[in-house]
Structures are given as C-alpha cells and as structure tokens.
Amino acid sequence: MNRRDFIRNATGLSGAVIAPGLAGGLSPAHAAPTTARVAFVKTRDRAAGVARAIDLLSLDRFDGRDVFVKPNLNSADPAPGSTHPDVLAALMRKLAALDAGPMTVGDRSGMGDTREVMEKTQVLRIAKEHRAKAVVFDELRADDWELIQLPESHWQQGFALPRMVRGAGAVVQTCCLKTHRYGGHFTLSLKNSVGLAAKRVPGNPHDFMRELHTSSHQRAMIAEINAAYRPALVVLDGVEAFVTGGPDHGKRVDAEVVLAGTDRIAIDAVGVALLRHFGTTPEVSRGTIFAQEQIARAAELGLGVRSPEAIELVTGDRDSDLYAKRVRAILDGGSGA
C-alpha cells in the first residue's frame, strides 16, 4: 500500500491531485492573469470603506450562488488581531446586495478554541443576523475534509480543506494587515487561507499545522494551500495594522485603508508595500516585494499576477489617490517610510 492509499484508508478522505494553476477553476499557470485591479480606499470607517472598495471593483453579481465567507479568526484579539465585526457585517450586507445566495461563515482558529473565538468576535451573532450558517472547522468529521496533493508540493502528506469550501459557488475572504512573528513574515490574504486547512483530520494522527510551523518551507507551503481554491473577492481591512509582531498583537499603526480585489497576489503585494510604508520588520523589508517567498511561490503556481506593473490601484477620491501614489512608489521598488 502506498502512502497516498494509506492516508485515504486512515482518514476516510478521498484525495484530489491538483495540477499547478488548475485548482478551483484557475487558468493554467502559463495563462495566469496579466493584470489585476485593487481598490484602494483611504478611510477610518471600516463599514463605509468595505462598501466603497467593493463598489470600485464593479463586480459581477452572484446570481444566487451560495457563498462561503472566510474571515480572519486566528484568535479572539481585536482587529487587526482578528476580523473586526464591522467589516464582516458590511461584507455580508454587500454580498446580499450583489445577489448572493445562502451564505456560510467558517474558520479554524490557530490560537484559541474556534467556537469561543467566533463567539467573542461576534461572528456567531453576525451570521445569525444575516441568516448565514456558521461552521467551526474543528468540529467537522473526517468525511467533511478533502485531501489535496499538489505536485512538487512542500507538504509531506498534502493538506486537507473542507469539502464545503471546495464545492462552494463562490469563496469570499476578508483578512487583516499585519506581520507574522512565527515564520510567515506577513499575514494577509495568502496566509489567511491557512485557516481553511485542517490541523488534524479525525482518524489521521498527523498534525498538519505542526508540520507547517516547523518547516523551513513554511512560506511556500502557505502559498500552496491557495492552489486549492479561487476567491471571488478578497477584502483587506487595513484601518489599523500591526507592523511588527502579529498575528495576535504587535506594534499598531493607523494605516487607514481598505483594499479589495480578486487577485490574492496583488492584494498581498500592496499589503507588503503598506507595511513597508509604515516601517516594518527586516524580513518584510528585505528585497523586492515579488521576491517575498509567499508571493514568489504563489506566482510560480500561477495564482495571480507576476509583477507590480500588472497591478492597477483603483481609487475614487483625492485623498485615496494621493495615498495610493505613495504606496505605488514602494510597490514599484521604492523605499518605505
């Protein structure tokens, strides 16, 4: 019996072998997006910023498709440690206005009991108010998970994602703007996807998160999780940011921005430029933005744009435009603060 058959038998999982660039309906790697629009809104009002950023993208309507919403619930710490309630509520209102069908909100916390984190961050209340289903990934059964094996991956046994995410009509995620002191270097949209992956699957003794956090390939492995799905929308709350420390606490700055887009690489590249603008860690400051390992591996997999020149920052007012131009200079290779 080979290792793949052993894993299937031990967990009750069926495996999925995913070719790079083909996950979740993505275009082949050689046909990666040539451009990406990122809405850039200068604001201190999270709810208004979320609505404005999404409007700037002029997205197609969801036409009744079911939508899975992935917040950032790594811990119960207030934003930017976790998704701010105003952001989640505003996002769900906007999805409803865009004709989203049944909505599900789910996550797995890395620093706390997920159900308790959902309660403390008001996710359970907000889901109920929007008639959405709330799912605690820690409580899923073995057959609720799908084992993903990416060719030439750095994962020893692959990684597992919930079938409800892989089968959703659309996946929308909202992340925060912050650094990551445990080896990720930064935690934006690519890193937010780690919360979709299982720590353990019932019946399988392997600790996937221990493997991730002790690996010298951690940042590449973060990018590889993202090959298993394609988001219809990403919203980044940067009204406040951690420029050191993170993901739960750190040096806080008022970054006063909300970003939105559909390309995770573009979102994260702009996010790194923002962190550099305010002065951040040596790891996040080093080299070109597209040489950052999370971004470089994601680009290698064909998950989004491959250069800063391919990113268009979309603004709708003078203050946002002036701020975006300063960040643009850093994105294109300039210095930080």
In the 3-class helix/strand/coil scheme, how is 208-269 assigned residue by residue?
HHHHHHHCCCHHHHHHHHHHHCCCCEEEEEEEEEEEEECCCCEEEECCCEEEEECCHHHHHH
Residue 92 dihedral angles phi and psi, to the nearest 5°: -70, -35
Nearest to residue 263, comparing CAs of 231, 290, 227? 231
Task: Assign 3-state DSSP to the chain and report helix, strand, coil percentages, each to 5.
Answer: 40, 20, 40
Q: Please list, residue by residue across 203-226, b when 16 or more beta carbons sit within 10 angstroms of its beta carbon and e when fewer do.
A: ebebebbebbeeeebbbbbbbbbb
Residues of the chain with pLDDT under 70: 1-14, 17-32, 334-337
Beta bridge partners of 288: none
Judging by beta carbons within 10 Å of its beta carbon (0-12, 13-18, 19+), is residue 34 exposed, middle or buried? exposed
pLDDT at 34: 85
- Encoded tokens for 318: 């003078």
Q: How high is the pLDDT of residue 334? A: 60
Cα–Cα distance, 261 to 161 (Å, whole number): 23
pLDDT at 33: 73
Q: Are strands 133-136 and 103-107 parallel, antiparallel or unpaired?
A: parallel
pLDDT of res. 236: 99
Residue 146: strand, helix, or coil = strand
- What is the rounded distance in angstroms from the CA atom of residue 55 to the CA atom of residue 39? 9
d(CA 323, CA 157): 44
Strands (E), the chain: 15-17, 36-42, 67-70, 103-107, 133-136, 145-149, 159-162, 170-180, 185-186, 233-245, 250-253, 257-261, 311-314
Q: Looking at residue 174, what DSSP letter applies? A: E
Q: Six-digit token pair at 174? A: 């909202």
Q: What is the pLDDT of residue 25?
A: 37
Backbone conformation region of residue 30, classed left if phi is above 0, alpha if psi is from -120 to 50, else beta? alpha
Per-residue pLDDT, 7: 42
Give phi and psi for 88, each to the nearest 5: -65, -45
pLDDT confidence of residue 13: 61
Site of tokens 């940011």: 241
Which residue in 109, 205, 213 sits closest to 155, CA to CA?
Answer: 213
pLDDT for the residue numbered 40: 99
